[in-house]
């Protein structure tokens, strides 16, 4: 391998500088992982989560309450998938491992709840039912870690002034885990065991007394952390550029989808829970930076087609009402005419709406399209080869902003 800054000669005596990066031979080797490599841990954790997911689907059917495992699967399965990929490719980033812990808490909690429900509420008297009650208590600790993931996104490097927020929250989290263990032990020591309709201990699911007060403090602290994480990411977005800005756009898109899903689910629309899957998926895409710049196009296309759908529905409904109420047309004829009109308007409306959305929300792409269209128009009437070459280079630099651009013509002359 040539050294850094090695000079390479071309046949026509032109020279170019090539920078080659290589590892530092004197750098210390990374410390090994206990009991195996990160890849081994990823395989083991993935196998355990896969078995737990199958067990959850089976037990939820046996317990005749399949709805209890839906939320765990909606949030846990995407978190597990993203966590496995991130932990495998970027083992030094704790976000991948945190997502795996969250997925494990949610999935194993639901497995334990259904198992305990079968044993205590349906009277099957299964072995190891007490560990099922203990596993069910992992639900809240798992969800509380989502705020930490958002705070650490994308590379777990916190500015010094934000580290105290994480430290305070981790202390509160550890205290809550200890309090939960004490409350669970006390509930298991009571006779008879009070198991609620979800398969968990009533003393911890419907907490009162000292544990109820401590749980309220923990939930308020968690809400404060989520708000702090949102503020931190908003400030980072204002100061960022390039890839980091695109990563934060992915996070914002996933969070907005999750919030919309929570609103729909609270309103009684069950499919709204699937909106929560967008949060771990967007986090994974942002960290792995796969096709990162497509987020602008996704946002603009989503807005464009949402507006287009609303316009076409309005046009369709207006034409049907006009044909049936004002014009003497029968229902099938009016519906067929309105459908044909909506189909005919789709393409021109889509182009106009997309251009409007790009002008407002995806200005870079809109400006680039305008520059390319202007170059194509100038190219039709141009006969000067040097002028075309200069115009082409100028258009490429303005639209793509490359570090270097040149035009090679036939014969090897630049």
- Structural domain harbouring 393: 376-414
Cβ neighbours, 10 Å, residue 360? 11
Q: Which of 267, 292, 317 is the last residue of a domain?
A: 292
Looking at the structure, tell me whether residues 141 and 261 fall in a common domain: yes
Question: How much is the pLDDT for 298?
Answer: 55
Looking at the structure, tell me whether residues 269 and 319 fall in a common domain: no
Looking at the structure, tell me whether residues 386 and 281 fall in a common domain: no
Looking at the structure, tell me whether residues 95 and 133 fall in a common domain: yes
Q: Is residue 15 part of a domain?
A: no
- For residue 242, count CB atoms less than 10 angstroms from its CB and return exposed for 0-12, middle for 13-18, buried for 19 or more: exposed
Question: How much is the pLDDT for 11?
Answer: 40
Q: Which among 215, 98, 262, 81 is positioned nearest to 166, based on CA atoms?
A: 98
**DSSP letters spanning 107-127:** HHHHHHHHHHIIIIIS----T
Looking at the structure, tell me whether residues 301 and 287 fall in a common domain: no
Looking at the structure, tell me whether residues 307 and 320 fall in a common domain: yes
Where are the alpha helices (H) located in 63-145, listed in sequence order?
67-89, 94-116, 129-136, 139-144
Q: Is residue 189 part of a domain?
A: yes
ω into 411 cis (within 30 of 0): no
Fill in the DSSP letter of residue 268: T
Question: How much is the pLDDT for 48?
Answer: 92
Q: Is residue 9 part of a domain?
A: no
Looking at the structure, tell me whether residues 340 and 286 fall in a common domain: no
Looking at the structure, tell me whether residues 217 and 320 fall in a common domain: no
Q: Which of 234, 266, 292 is the last residue of a domain?
A: 292
183-223 pLDDT, tens digit per residue, is 999 888 887 778 888 788 888 888 788 888 888 888 888 88
List the end-to-end C-alpha distance of the chain, in Å, as a whole number.
Answer: 28
Which residues of the chain, if any, have pLDDT below 70? 1-36, 265-266, 268, 270-271, 289-308, 310, 324-331, 333-335, 357-372, 375, 379, 381-389, 391-393, 395-414
Q: Which among 183, 171, 252, 189 is positioned nearest to 211, based on CA atoms?
A: 183
Looking at the structure, tell me whether residues 327 and 380 fall in a common domain: no
Question: How much is the pLDDT for 349?
Answer: 77
Question: How much is the pLDDT for 246?
Answer: 81
Give, to the nearest 10 degrees, the angle between helix 363-381 and helix 331-361. Answer: 90
As for how many domains the chain has, the answer is 3
Q: Which of 292, 317, 334 is the last residue of a domain?
A: 292
Task: Report the C-alpha gap between 68 and 212 in whole angstroms.
Answer: 23
Q: Is residue 13 part of a domain?
A: no
Question: How much is the pLDDT for 8?
Answer: 38
Looking at the structure, tell me whether residues 276 and 211 fall in a common domain: yes
Question: How much is the pLDDT for 231?
Answer: 87
Q: Is residue 367 part of a domain?
A: no
Return all residues near 226 (Cβ < 8 A) that are at least 6 apart.
Answer: 146, 147, 150
Looking at the structure, tell me whether residues 150 and 259 fall in a common domain: yes
Looking at the structure, tell me whether residues 131 and 197 fall in a common domain: yes
Q: Is residue 4 part of a domain?
A: no
Question: How much is the pLDDT for 402?
Answer: 55
Task: Report the C-alpha gap between 14 and 11 in whole angstroms.
Answer: 7
């Amino acid at each position: 391998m040539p050294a850094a800054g090695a000079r390479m000669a071309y046949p026509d005596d032109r020279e170019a500088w090539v920078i080659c990066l290589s590892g530092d031979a004197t750098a210390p080797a990374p410390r090994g992982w206990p009991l195996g490599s990160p890849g081994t841990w990823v395989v083991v954790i993935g196998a355990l989560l896969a078995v737990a997911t199958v067990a959850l689907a089976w037990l939820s059917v046996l317990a005749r309450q399949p709805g209890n495992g839906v939320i765990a699967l909606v949030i846990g399965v995407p978190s597990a998938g993203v966590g496995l990929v991130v932990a495998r490719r970027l083992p030094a980033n704790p976000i991948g491992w945190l997502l795996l812990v969250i997925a494990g808490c949610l999935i194993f909690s639901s497995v334990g709840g259904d198992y305990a429900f079968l044993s205590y509420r349906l009277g099957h008297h299964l072995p190891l039912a007490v560990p099922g009650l203990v596993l069910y208590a992992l639900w809240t600790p798992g969800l509380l870690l989502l705020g930490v993931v958002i705070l650490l996104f994308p590379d777990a490097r916190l500015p010094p002034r934000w580290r105290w927020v994480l430290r305070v929250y981790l202390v509160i989290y550890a205290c809550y885990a200890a309090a939960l263990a004490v409350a669970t032990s006390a509930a298991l020591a009571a006779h008879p065991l009070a198991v609620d309709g979800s398969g968990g201990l009533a003393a911890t699911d419907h907490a009162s007394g000292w544990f109820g007060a401590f749980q309220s403090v923990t939930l308020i602290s968690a809400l404060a952390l989520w708000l702090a994480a949102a503020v931190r990411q908003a400030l980072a977005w204002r100061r960022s550029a390039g890839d980091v800005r695109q990563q934060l756009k992915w996070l914002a898109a996933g969070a907005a989808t999750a919030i919309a899903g929570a609103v729909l689910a609270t309103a009684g629309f069950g499919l709204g829970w699937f909106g929560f899957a967008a949060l771990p998926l967007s986090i994974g895409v942002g960290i792995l930076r796969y096709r990162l710049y497509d987020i602008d196009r996704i946002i603009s296309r989503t807005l464009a087609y949402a507006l287009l759908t609303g316009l076409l529905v309005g046009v369709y409904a207006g034409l049907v009402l006009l044909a049936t109420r004002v014009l003497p047309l029968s229902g099938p004829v009016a519906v067929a005419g309105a459908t044909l009109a909506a189909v005919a308007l789709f393409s021109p409306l889509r182009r106009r709406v997309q251009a409007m959305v790009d002008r407002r929300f995806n200005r870079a792409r809109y400006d680039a399209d305008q520059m390319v269209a202007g170059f194509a128009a100038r190219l039709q009437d141009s006969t000067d080869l040097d002028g075309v070459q200069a115009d082409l280079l100028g258009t490429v630099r303005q639209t793509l902003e490359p570090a270097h651009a040149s035009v090679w013509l036939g014969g090897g002359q630049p």
